[in-house]
Chain A
């Protein structure tokens, strides 16, 4: 299967990052958002991200222009008619995601693969919204998608072998990332492990064992993490970490997934990390720590 044109639904953090990576790899990307303002904001954020990469010598001005030329903002699924693959990246809300999958299923011919970037939700349940559940699959990217060469490929109960084979080919040969196959389970591999890691760091903080800085330094220096658990949580978005833990707590019913009270309090207070400028640390407009 040829992959030249890809539809991306949602221009939030993950949608931007996926669109940017796909365009860098040479594909035409059709990025869809609910409102022109949100779309504009998403495209602007992609440009800022590309500028930051130029500052780090990762890209040239010509490459930036080329990438931006390949990303086309759209407002309707009828613009996906030429796409071979659609990736939805909206927030982790089962009903909203089901509605998006159902709409994409109606709008696209049955040979188009419908992928969800969900990190915790049931693929089987998402696929149940489609008349063709065999073409629905999970493709869970890790942020920042440009740098992290890993995708969790998640099969729902009715995902066909052909859909899985094409998706694996896309991940490993077209976008050159390592695809790990995961059977449906809340949080898959990465979200389940990393959220527990962050939650345990929060418990250490709650118990007064160590400070935010020292916990982050210990894990960053001691175990070669790029960021410690608190900066990592800030970068994922504290609301996203909270939602993932809540979802796994509900699904597994085990106390270890119950979100820490500090996390709940910060989310209620609107301290969401990089996206709000403040979380455990403070950040400037470019997402750099102040």
Chain B
């Protein structure tokens, strides 16, 4: 049985194809910089040289089609046809309160994921595009979804409740959910292995740093608190996401700039963070290169530090 695992992020898509007879990896790879002129596709068939292609890939559906092309490529592929893929697993960022564990994709599952678009506007739509693209190319294949929020379901009430009227939680499930759950779970298990101590005895802070970033306090192997909140916008400053800011800035800016809800959402999710601070790019590699080239960018990587350290320690301080 071959299972394709897809992790569609906001600007990247990673994949691994497993042969479940021995849980071996047949191929893996990633599509980076989706939405930019020079997207990079890196395909690694097991035991053969890596293939790297630079091309324009503007959205996730095209990215998934490209992955399937790679897996069945006469020269670099590992499958004769896409029909040899028996099941597909997707990482899904937001499961809200509807999903406390993984689920098989059904019309109802998709509807629930769609309902959570507002809470993870950069991610759940990208995951849905992945699911839809797989449905189009592999009709009838079983698909499963694994949620980032599930690991954080162990958080105590003191961690997940916001200090706002309780009625908002009761009516609209406004609470901290936390994200990057599968990553924080894996990192904590690896940390215990490396330290040579049982996970159940450890108090850890794990950091997930990518285009999105979060820190989690893990108490005896369970998520105790985390920097991301109801949406992946809270916490550390990120590539294009603002992270923590004074909540009063939002209505003030909407009023002064005459912005709609979707405009302010887009501003905070797609036009803020490192991109806004640097005035150059959301990609640290581009900023570092520009700095070495003498570019007078408004930022330096050290600008990330104050907000970063504050949010990284916050989950522990709340205890």
Contacts and interface: CB of A to CB of B under 8 A. Distances in A.
A binds B: yes
B259 A57 contact: yes
Contacts of A218: none
B172 to A, nearest CB: 19
A65 B266 contact: no
Contact of B58 (A57, A58, A59, A65): A65
Contact of B259 (A56, A60, A65): A56
Nearest to B33: A62
B266 A58 contact: yes
Contacts of B78: none
A57 B267 contact: yes
A59 B36 contact: no
Given A56-B257, A57-B271, A69-B58, A63 B262 contact: no
Contacts of B263: 56-58
A4 to B, nearest CB: 9
Interface residues of A, number: 12
Interface in B236-290: 257, 259-260, 262-264, 266-267, 270-271
A233 to B, nearest CB: 20
Given A66-B58, A69-B58, A147-B260, A57 B270 contact: yes
Given A56-B259, A69-B58, A147-B260, A62 B267 contact: no
Contacts of B221: none
Contact of B270 (A60, A65, A69, A147): A60
A228 to B, nearest CB: 15
B271 A66 contact: no
A66 B59 CA distance: 8
Nearest to A60: B270
Contacts of B58: 62, 65-66, 69
Interface in A237-282: none
A58 B36 contact: no
Interface string B74-103: 000000000000000000000000000000
B35 A63 contact: yes
A60 B36 contact: no
B125 to A, nearest CB: 10
B35 A62 contact: yes
A65 B267 CA distance: 18
A26 B126 CA distance: 12
Contacts of B260: 58, 147
Nearest to B268: A57
A62 B240 CA distance: 13
A175 B262 CA distance: 15
B29 to A, nearest CB: 22
Interface in A40-63: 56-60, 62-63
A283 to B, nearest CB: 16
A63 B60 CA distance: 12
A15 to B, nearest CB: 23
Contacts of A69: 58
A57 B59 contact: no
Contacts of A147: 260, 262
A58 B263 CA distance: 4
A66 B270 CA distance: 15
B35 A66 contact: yes
Interface in A7-45: 26
A98 to B, nearest CB: 37
Interface string A60-77: 101101100100000000
Contacts of A59: 266
A125 B222 CA distance: 67
B35 A60 contact: yes
Interface of A: 26, 56-60, 62-63, 65-66, 69, 147
Given A57-B266, A58-B262, A60-B35, 13 more contacts: A26-B61, A56-B259, A57-B259, A57-B267, A57-B270, A58-B263, A59-B266, A60-B270, A62-B35, A62-B58, A66-B58, A147-B260, A147-B262
20 contacts: A26-B61, A26-B129, A56-B257, A56-B263, A57-B263, A57-B264, A57-B271, A58-B260, A58-B266, A59-B266, A60-B35, A60-B271, A63-B35, A65-B58, A66-B35, A66-B58, A66-B59, A69-B58, A147-B260, A147-B262
Interface of B: 35-36, 58-59, 61, 129, 257, 259-260, 262-264, 266-267, 270-271
